[in-house]
Amino acid sequence: MKVYRNNRPPLYIQVHPDDNTAIIVNSGGLDEGTEFPCGLKLIERIPQGHKVALRDIYEGEEIVRYGEVIGYAKTTIKKGSWVKESLVLMPTPPKLTSLTFSNKVKEVLPLEEEFTFLGFRNEDGTVGTKNILGITTSVQCVAGVLNVAVKKIKEELLPLFPNVDDVIALNHAYGCGVAINAPDAVIPIRTLQNLARHPNFGGELMIIGLGCEKLSPDRLNNGINDNILILQNENGFMNMINSIMEMAEKKLKKLNERKREKIPVSELVIGVQCGGSDAFSGVTANPAVGYAVDLLIKSGATVLFSEVTEVRDAVHLLAPRVINEEVGKALIREMGWYDNYLRRGEADRSANPSPGNKRGGLTNVVEKSLGSIIKSGSTPIVDVLAPGERVRKKGLIFAATPASDFVCGTLQLASGIHLQVFTTGRGTPYGLSMVPVIKVSTRSELREQWPDLIDIDAGKIATGEATIEEVGWEIFKEIIEVASGTKKAWADKWKIYNDLVLFNPSPVT
């Protein structure tokens, strides 16, 4: 990566030597006439994060970033001019039928130091990063009553059990009024089942059902019978509340006995995601996260990366990293499923990126994808999960999910993550209640603007104040501290918790 700067430094970042574009680093962008030390001169104003042509790019010629084709020039783009979305034709996505698998599977060399964190050890051997009374629901019908009960539990019971962090209602819009036998219904059902098994609930989850819903409450119960409360069996509202309180008190007593202990980092499952991305995501925050992911994998841990619509156009770069043909086929299966899902809804990949992504300098989903998959680091991909499936292997895993922040978050929670690392360029006050979220900014301006929301600033990579490796280690160490509860991420400090959002690709009825 070449970084140019001077004392009031006009600065651009060229990621790969083959690139004929680079992005403008300077806050506020750079004016027409700006000259860089290398002699490049801007022939028009270019906003921060947007691309400058490093040489003349002729009509029909490849536009290159990250060493990859992100599009073709609609007309000739002069050296020093702004490579705007309107000048770029999008390339066709990589063919799923012509991918090469497993020819770039690197050996993973373990770190010399063995890292540990302070976590909760569950009876079934799994570990937790929080101690939460989870209350799930088989149908939205019960949410109104449950919310009243949870408020009361938090006010009257939770203070009596100081070792319990929180009480959470897992409300959702599924369970009835849905085509529960449609082929894709398996996704939301599996998601709810696996959310119910989340290790941060310590095996003491409660289930509130109505009684006449399509999704039978015992389908969420994993064989534990005394966890279910059916509202249609209760004698009125007051009784419902009392019964919920009674069950909650029993569960809280048990949860209160949980204590943190030293646990190897190899037992952690970490999710990574980006949201509100900009052109810096792919050069600062995401590469730093990728470095931290490598450190986690080298420590024996498990990492999930996701966001199908941001992987689809870069899948030819991931296929060589899958450990075998079987995993490769699973990767194709998930890409193909999504292609079909979008087609069915008369949408396509151009639905991503968002206007904010574009204002941030991302021209199209190809450019966004190249910057997104860098989060996965460099280790082999050992498994591919369908949406909401639970992890079953250690190592780097592609967990297929939409890129939508809360849908991705919910599905990664179902897969069993203990903590999520979330990178953001435009800025989003993202948070999950079930696990800690560490937010990493792609630009220092965002961290300066949101000092009480951004946990780590990767923007200092763009200005040369820190290396990718340094910020990667910073993220790795932050993960250990936050997973241990010895440090709180901002989302937990303020209790900024977004709702779960189920991925339900099948019809409501």
Single out the residue of 33, 74, 81, 86 nearest to residue 56, CA to CA: 81
Residues in CB range of 508: below 8 A, 6 or more apart = 177, 178, 179
274 binds Ca ion (CB under 5 A): yes
If the CB atoms of residues 184 and 470 are measured against a second copy, the closer one turns out to be 184
Single out the residue of 114, 183, 227 nearest to residue 386, CA to CA: 183
What are the tokens at 11?
């600065």
User: Alpha helix (H) ranges present in 153-267?
Assistant: 186-196, 237-255
Number of residues in contact with Ca ion, rule: CB under 5 A?
A: 7
Site for Ca ion in 466-505 (CB under 5 A): 499
Binding mask 221-250 for a second copy (x = CB under 8 A): ----------xx--xxxx-x----------
Site for a second copy in 89-128 (CB under 8 A): none
What are the tokens at 25?
């680093």
If the CB atoms of residues 224 and 347 are measured against a second copy, the closer one turns out to be 347
Nearest distance from C-beta of residue 5 to a second copy, angstroms: 27
Binding partner of 274, given Ca ion, a second copy, none, CB within 5-8 angstroms per partner class: Ca ion
Q: How deeply is 386 buried, as exposed, middle or buried, from its count of CB atoms within 10 A (0-12, 13-18, 19+)?
A: middle
Nearest distance from C-beta of residue 448 to a second copy, angstroms: 9
Cβ contact 70:64 at 8 Å: yes
450 binds a second copy (CB under 8 A): yes
Cβ contact 419:455 at 8 Å: no
Single out the residue of 404, 119, 418, 429 nearest to residue 269, CA to CA: 418
Nearest distance from C-beta of residue 404 to Ca ion, angstroms: 6
495 binds a second copy (CB under 8 A): yes
Among the listed residues 351, 392, 465, 486, the single contact to a second copy using CB under 8 A: 351
Site for a second copy in 266-295 (CB under 8 A): 275-276
User: Alpha helix (H) ranges present in 432-503?
Assistant: 444-449, 468-484, 490-494
Cα–Cα distance between 377 and 469 in angstroms, integer?
Answer: 12
Nearest distance from C-beta of residue 169 to Ca ion, angstroms: 8
Nearest distance from C-beta of residue 336 to a second copy, angstroms: 15
What are the tokens at 189?
């059902």
Among the listed residues 33, 37, 60, 144, the single contact to a second copy using CB under 8 A: 144
Cβ contact 399:411 at 8 Å: yes
362 binds Ca ion (CB under 5 A): no
What are the tokens at 493?
């400090």
Site for a second copy in 182-201 (CB under 8 A): 182-184
Site for Ca ion in 276-335 (CB under 5 A): 307
Binding partner of 467, given a second copy, Ca ion, none, CB within 5-8 angstroms per partner class: none
